Amino acid sequence: MSQVRSFYITNRFFYAAGALVFLFVVGFAVPWIAIIAEVSFYLSLACLVIDTLLLFRVKDGIELERLCTEKFSNGDDNPVRLIVENRYPIALHLQVIDELPEQLQIRGQRFELDLGSGEVKEIDYNVRPLKRGEYSFGFVNVFASTFLGVVRKRYQLGEVQSVAVYPSFIQMRKYELLAISNQLQEFGVKKIRRIGNNMEFEQIKNYVSGDDYRKVNWKATARKGRLMVNQYQDERSQQVYSVIDKGRVMQMPFEGLSLLDYAINSSLVISNIALKKGDKAGIVTFQQKVNSILPASSRNMQLNLILEHLYKQKTGYKETDYSKLYIALKRKVTQRSLVLLYTNFESLSALKRQLPFLRKIRQQHLLVCIFFQNTEIEKVINKKAIDLEEVYTKGIAEQLAFEKKLIVKELQAHGIHTILTPPKELSVNTINKYLELKSRGLI
Amino acid sequence: MKEKKYVIFLIAVVALYVVSEMLKPAKMNWLTTYHEAHSIPFGGIAMHNLMQDIFDQPSPKSEYRTLYELALEESPMGNPLIIADGIGMDGNDFNALMKHIAAGGSALLSARNIQGPLADSLGFNIRVEDEELIYDFRAIQEALTGQIEETITLNLPDDAKREYSFSKVATTSYFSRIEKDNFEVLAVNEDDDPVLIAYKKLSGNLYLSTMPLAFTNYFILAEKTTEFAAAMLSHLPEDEVVFQNEYYQLGRQEAQTPLRVILSNRALRWGFFILLFTVIIFMVFESKRRQRIIPLITPLKNMSIEFVETLGRLYYRQSDHRKLAEKRVNYWKDFVRGHYNLRTDHFDEQFAVDLTNKSGQSRKSINGLLEFIKRVEDGIAINEGELMQIEKQLNAFYGIE
């Protein structure tokens, strides 16, 4: 029965049938062609039988394994590898259809490959999930056909596999390495001139070019016979809270990923860097009320806790209530902290409604308000308008983009730091801000 | 368990429906077919049994071709008996019929209406009354049960007369005019209008009747009218071959369509069956699943552009061009401040020079732009053309291709 179920037919079969029908129709007019047609019919029938025998005589003729990690990183390309082996005594043509998780909504993915007898090949492809949560891979369907290519045999291989899509830990790693090796400039992270100095002494080290020569330790230099400098410690154990607005305004997607997921990915990156820099990282999420608070800490476990905490986040995209946020921060976060507030304001009036609460939060903490440039609207701005109506549309788009700048000004006027960023560059800009604030000693 | 419940419920509903359909009184089918094998009221099975009694041949057959075809393909073709709701022969059929009659053959044509060359050449008209009794099943049923009857008088060869009482359904039409010289009247209705006539001009016999329903099961099986049909039929010579030509009521009953041609040729037959087979294979195999079902999840949609377009349309309706121009100037100023680090509180000569140097635009286009911006700031009205003009200038300034 399973043999019957795995029996499929190729297009070549239908082309051959079409050709036969054509020959017979011509044979109606020219009798000797009808004879050829009849002979070809029996030949085709023979091909069909031989092909079927070739394919179905061998059991378990194809081996396949799917390799992928247990966790996927949201919004990034995650590699998946299929390893196929042909155990038939003959070369085969394979069509491989992997049953991808339904969240990806990919229907047309097919791989065609030729595989010699006993040959092993690898198929690599990437999966870019856009939502956190449980993803499930099904079987891998392999359709094998021989050189005759009339019949196909389906193998259902591999195994049903579930994968958890986590906030982007790939980005986290990427920026982590860069932050430690001080190569962030390559990714657009600015090197900030140090204005304030921390006087906490750490160690004496060899002078390398670029070190501040005012800090040359002459005594040590004299002893060692080469230039030595004093190194001072960065301020440590400061609290960094990523506060994520899960409300209505964060639902808007850019390149398939919602602003909320951009914010979550970025929180993970910044928390990781903060932990690496010896600070304490914490998470607060809220919408119509404060949903969760993960207190800032610098324990070893903390990064994993943050990852799990962010993985679990669900939202109804309700209207956000900043008063609740203020109260929660007031009660639960007693130490002055860096508060990175991920939210979005589309207009100045939207900001004005929330401004009193933001000012209140600022009194106690160093508040950075992070919101997004609307890159979709910018596309309208950077396009030529053809008729008057389009000129109007463009004018309104410019007005909205301009308003975002006004929002920045308004916030700055109240001593609130801001990051206005395209969603894609959120992580980089947030890291920049964090490093800037730290080196300026504002916290 | 729950599924079982639904199945039982479904079976019960289906069973109930079947029983109720079975208990319903069968609906009468009052369609007139005159077909040799139909046992519905207006079918012709009873007449065929009657013909077996009257004529010498064991089983009179039916033909489904035109008289013209029959005359060509069968010779001699036998005496046609044509019973139909309406007969509209064309010239060829008519000629074939007349040839047959002229050669001493006989024919009986019975129809509610006869038109075309037949009526014109032989010289008669038929009038049809109560037309709803032809197609309205309810009216037919009411007329039959209501016993509205009409007496038909049949002239017998020995000048005797016999009367038959028919339901009005069977007597809806009669010959309203006949050429007296050509015809002999064999039966009349209550108003003395002929309902059965014989054409006398040729050596053979052509009988025309306006009462086809007299040949149906309903009236042949009713005792008081059986004889009328028998009397009409008995005008045809009993020792000659008679056939019922059903073409004029039912058309061709054989396999029609091009298939007849295709199936008759070996090569085409092969081709056809291969095609048919392939189509079936195609449907079976192409409908097989290649991978599991992927339910449709609608992705989040970014509505920003729709939002901007809606707002734009609203402003466009108002068409306050100056207000829009102001918005554009605001954005432009912000652009200049952000990109070129210039103050935009007043536009003097120095500003124009700096902007020209920093932006790399020509002095002329910068001056044009500034002139326009001054006009907007001064509150001078702007028209559509100028708005389009500024769009062009700004595109050039921003470098939008």
Tell me the C-alpha distance between A256 and A262, whole Å: 11
* Chain segment B160-187, per-residue pLDDT in tens: 888 888 888 888 889 988 888 888 888 8
* Chain segment B123-154, per-residue pLDDT in tens: 889 988 877 777 788 888 888 887 778 888 88
Q: Give chain A's domains with CATH numbers.
A: 1-166 (2.60.40.10), 169-194+235-439 (3.40.50.410), 202-232 (no CATH)
Cα separation values, B243 from A127, B77, B183, B326, Å: 79, 9, 24, 97
**pLDDT given for residue A187 in this prediction:** 57
Residue B263, SS3 per DSSP? helix
**B306 touching chain A per CB within 8 A:** no
Tell me the C-alpha distance between A292 and A310, whole Å: 10
Q: If you measure CA to CA, which chain A residue comes closest to B264?
A: A28
Question: What one-character DSSP code corresponds to residue A216?
Answer: B
Give the strands of the sheet with B205-209, arranged side by side.
Answer: B62-63, B242-245, B79-88, B106-115, B205-209, B194-199, B183-188, B149-155, B161-167
Q: Is the pLDDT of residue B289 over 50?
A: yes
Phi, psi of A292 (to 5 degrees): -155, 145
Mean pLDDT for chain B? Answer: 86
CB nearest A399 (choices: B291, B309, B331) = B331
| Chain B neighbors of A34, CB-CB under 8 A | 266-267, 270
Neighbouring-strand partners of residue B327: none
**pLDDT given for residue A414 in this prediction:** 94
Cα separation values, A418 from A245, A321, B335, Å: 15, 20, 19
Mean pLDDT of A402-420: 94
Mean pLDDT of A147-161: 91
Confidence band for B236, pLDDT divided at 50, 70 and 90: confident
Contact A105 B274 (CB under 8 A): no
**pLDDT given for residue A442 in this prediction:** 77
Q: Any idea where the domains of chain B sit in the sequence? A: 28-250, 255-288, 319-398
**B285 touching chain A per CB within 8 A:** yes
Tell me the C-alpha distance between A264 and A275, whole Å: 16
Q: Is the pLDDT of residue A189 over 80?
A: no
Residue that is written with structure tokens 């910044």 in the block? A270
Question: What one-character DSSP code corresponds to residue B65?
Answer: S
Tell me the C-alpha distance between B376 and B250, whole Å: 86
**B283 touching chain A per CB within 8 A:** no
Q: Is the pLDDT of residue A293 over 90?
A: yes
**CATH code given to domain B28-250:** 3.40.50
Q: Is the pLDDT of residue A428 over 60?
A: yes
Tell me the C-alpha distance between A268 and B40, whole Å: 85
The gap between the terminal CA atoms of chain A, to the nearest Å, is 72
Question: Is B32:B85 a contact under the CB 8 Å cutoff?
Answer: yes
Contact A138 B330 (CB under 8 A): no
**pLDDT given for residue A225 in this prediction:** 92
User: For A182-196, A261-275, B205-219, which range has the lowest pLDDT when averaged over its residues?
Assistant: A182-196
**pLDDT given for residue B104 in this prediction:** 87
Cα separation values, A83 from A64, A96, A125, Å: 5, 11, 12
Confidence band for A99, pLDDT divided at 50, 70 and 90: very high
Which is more confidently placed, B34 or A199?
B34
The shares of helix, strand and coil residues in chain B, as percent rounded to the nearest 5, are: 50, 15, 35
Percentage of residues in chain A having pLDDT higher than 90: 60
Which is more confidently placed, A187 or A134?
A134
Q: Is the pLDDT of residue A362 over 80?
A: yes
- Reported ipTM: the value is 0.73
Mean pLDDT of A63-81: 92
Sign of the dihedral through C-alpha A362, A363, A364, A366: positive
**pLDDT given for residue B245 in this prediction:** 86
Phi, psi of A309 (to 5 degrees): -60, -45
Confidence band for B22, pLDDT divided at 50, 70 and 90: confident
A141, with CB counted inside 10 A (0-12, 13-18, 19+), is buried
Q: Which tokens in the block code for residue A133?
A: 């949560």
* Chain segment B243-269, per-residue pLDDT in tens: 888 888 887 766 566 677 777 788 888
Tell me the C-alpha distance between A72 and A127, whole Å: 9
Give me the DSSP letters along A170-185. Answer: HHHHHHHHHHHTT-GG
Q: Which tokens in the block code for residue B234?
A: 């008995």
Tell me the C-alpha distance between A168 and A184, whole Å: 18
Which residues, 6 or more positions from B309, have their beta carbon under 8 angstroms from its beta carbon? Answer: A393
Tell me the C-alpha distance between B9 and B176, whole Å: 63
Residue A138, SS3 per DSSP? coil
Q: Is the pLDDT of residue A417 over 90?
A: yes
Confidence band for A343, pLDDT divided at 50, 70 and 90: very high
**B294 touching chain A per CB within 8 A:** yes
- State the Rg of chain B over Cα: 44
Tell me the C-alpha distance between B31 and B137, whole Å: 8
Confidence band for B88, pLDDT divided at 50, 70 and 90: confident
- Written as one letter, the residue type at A427 is S
A202, with CB counted inside 10 A (0-12, 13-18, 19+), is exposed
Contact B316 A389 (CB under 8 A): yes
Q: What angle do CA A327, A332, A336 make, to 5 degrees?
A: 95
* Chain segment B298-321, per-residue pLDDT in tens: 888 888 889 999 999 999 998 888
Confidence band for A196, pLDDT divided at 50, 70 and 90: very low
| Chain A neighbors of B302, CB-CB under 8 A | 252-254, 376
Q: In A, residues 38-57, which contact B (CB 8 Å cutoff)?
A: 38, 41
Tally Cβ neighbours within 10 Å of residue A402: 20
Q: Is the pLDDT of residue A241 over 50?
A: yes
Q: Is the pLDDT of residue A397 over 60?
A: yes
**pLDDT given for residue A363 in this prediction:** 93
Cα separation values, B63 from A424, B40, B106, B163, B242, Å: 84, 20, 16, 33, 11
Which is more confidently placed, A443 or B353?
B353
Q: Which run of H or E residues covers position A363?
A: helix A348-364
Tell me the C-alpha distance between A70 and A144, whole Å: 29
Question: Is A328:A284 a contact under the CB 8 Å cutoff?
Answer: yes
CB nearest B305 (choices: A31, A97, A376) = A376
| Chain A neighbors of B278, CB-CB under 8 A | 14, 17-18, 21
Mean pLDDT of B203-211: 90
Q: If you measure CA to CA, which chain A residue comes closest to B299?
A: A256
Q: In B, residues 118-147, which contact A (CB 8 Å cutoff)?
A: none
From the list A177, A175, A162, the residue with the least C-alpha distance to A72 is A162
Confidence band for A221, pLDDT divided at 50, 70 and 90: very high
Q: Which run of H or E residues covers position A418?
A: strand A417-421
Mean pLDDT for chain A? Answer: 88
**Torsion on CA atoms A137, A171, A418, A328, rounded to nearest 10:** 60
A338, with CB counted inside 10 A (0-12, 13-18, 19+), is buried
List helix spans (H) across B234-348.
247-250, 259-264, 266-286, 304-318, 321-340
Residue ranges with strand state E in A42-139: 62-67, 71-73, 78-86, 92-98, 111-115, 120-127, 133-137
**pLDDT given for residue A145 in this prediction:** 93
